[in-house]
Structure 1
């Protein structure tokens, strides 16, 4: 199901800025028993995206109501929300855009995550590297061609996800997930000031660790350092957290960090 500006439809004008320039931002949320998980965080992500992209903001109360209506009566589903500056403008200019476009869609719940929780995820290092751009780093904008290419290469392998580096060789993320790793008792996650997406689940898990007095260090780590870790875990709003069993030809068997983060996710679902 899809709604554009509140109406159930699938047709979008070719003049919309999303079509013309990939101009806009989005978020993807888990729906459980009719409720949007981490709802406030997803709204905040959209607001941050609008601010960083200098976009006119939608009516947030209207958007929130539309999101709740879409999620209502859904036992388990994926809700995606896209915001664009709307249609109009000449060339790159937004002049003439009358109002933001709101696109909401519901998709079936991905069933393969449950199996991956038991089996663990296999990562392969992607040949596609993310360009550094601190102006756009962290937000979930609509310019996702790097991820499209990463996914294309991943589909040529038998791996479950991709390990993605930036152009300087620094570990950033996966194709559609963030990552944490453990060295002894210390937990690390990539710094995302130059590239990558600061995911909702990453933020939630970091907050949970901070509340428990556990240090999670943000660093610019190398692939070699990651491969030497005791344990690696990936996460996103849908997974919500999965253990990594291998990266290329390096295997991992420990799951203490995974069990800890999974318990935090279950706490979230019960709240």
Structure 2
């Protein structure tokens, strides 16, 4: 996939071999949907990036500089996904933190992933992944650079009819999909899994929770998910995607899903992303 790229503000695609992001996954990233030069969820992305840098003790990059660089790489693209990667920078061999870290920032723009328009109407098919997410509360919620669990989960299937896989933790509790957060309406209550032990706290998830203050965050079992009346995925890149099936269970896109899709449209995102 061709991309426009800036590394520390310079047009290049060469990453230093001794960068800690490459050596240890020592860094974070944000995938931000742009419509022309506007990113409707930019403040949420920057809030998460700042909080995550603080937890990992990586100096927080200048957000105005990041916005300028993001607009530069996304220039003339009517729709794009800008990935901002922040690493701790170059360091000596070993796990010890550099005394004076010089973070590296990588800003790249890509064409949005193709999602057929009918997927937003009819919904998508899910499967349950065999791999289980490891619990690590210190990293829970962060979008850090180590995504090997998601890579291996996505390798479990090659059926193009299956759009996503459900990830559970080591105790069998539902956490998320491989590239999205998950919501379910159970007994009339909107619920999304707690992410205090593993998983990524998505920006799209944060937007849904802010829009639906009655939503609950808590434990979600596979049995409860299969018994839900309405299930959807949230992603800052793909928006709100209804789920029409999981294994043999069939769901209908309900009123809440449609309401949130309209909210996404009102933010400035199109739900027709198949081009």
Q: TM-score range by the shorter chain?
A: over 0.9
Normalised to the residue count of structure 2, the TM-score between the two structures is: 0.92
1:231 aligns with 2:230: yes
Asked whether 1:206 is paired with 2:205, we answer no
How many aligned positions are there? 266
What is the distance in 2 between the residues matched to 1:126 and 1:240? Answer: 22
Query: Given the alignment of the two structures, is residue 245 of structure 1 paired with residue 244 of structure 2, yes or no?
Result: yes
The correspondence of residues 144-183 of structure 1 with structure 2, limited to 5 A, is: 144-155=147-158, 158-183=161-186
Q: Is the 8 A contact 2:135 2:170 kept in 1?
A: yes
Contact residue 122 and residue 253 of structure 2 kept, 8 A? no
Query: CA offset at residue 157 of structure 1?
Result: 7.0
Q: For 1:125 and 1:9, how far apart are their aligned partners in 2?
A: 39
Which position in structure 2 is the counterpart of 1:93? 96
TM-score (norm 1): 0.93
Q: Partner of 1:14 in structure 2? A: 17
Q: How far does the alpha carbon of each residue in 1:95-144 deviate from its partner, in whole angstroms, 9 at most, with x for none? A: 26641100011111222242311231100000011011110000100011
User: Once the two structures are superposed, what CA deviation does each residue of 1:189-216 show, in whole Å capped at 9, x if it has no partner?
Assistant: 1111011111001100110112xxxx10
Matches within 5 A, 1:1-271: 1-95=4-98, 98-155=101-158, 158-210=161-213, 215-269=214-268
Q: Give 1 or 2: higher helix fraction.
A: 1
Helix, strand or coil for the counterpart of 2:263?
A: helix
The CA deviation at 1:256 is 1.5
Aligned-pair CA distance for 1:221: 1.2
1:164, 1:130 → 2: CA distance? 7
SS state at 1:124 partner: strand
Q: Does structure 2 retain, via aligned residues, the 8 Å contact 1:129–1:164? A: yes
Distance 1:254 1:75 in 2: 29
Q: Please give the root-mean-square deviation of Cα atoms over the aligned residues, in Å.
A: 1.6
Q: In structure 1, what is the Cα distance between the partners aligned to 2:95 and 2:22?
A: 12
CA shift, 1:251, in A, is 0.8
After TM superposition, the structure 1 stretch with the greater mean CA deviation from structure 2, 128-137 or 180-189, is 180-189
Shift of 1:265: 0.9
Between the aligned partners of 2:109 and 2:98, the Cα distance in structure 1 is 31
Alpha-carbon separation, structure 1, partners of 2:16 and 2:151: 23
| Structure 2: gaps (5+ residues) | 270-275
- 8 A Cα contact 2:191 2:215, kept in partner: yes
Paired with 1:141 and 1:260, the residues of 2 have a C-alpha distance of 31
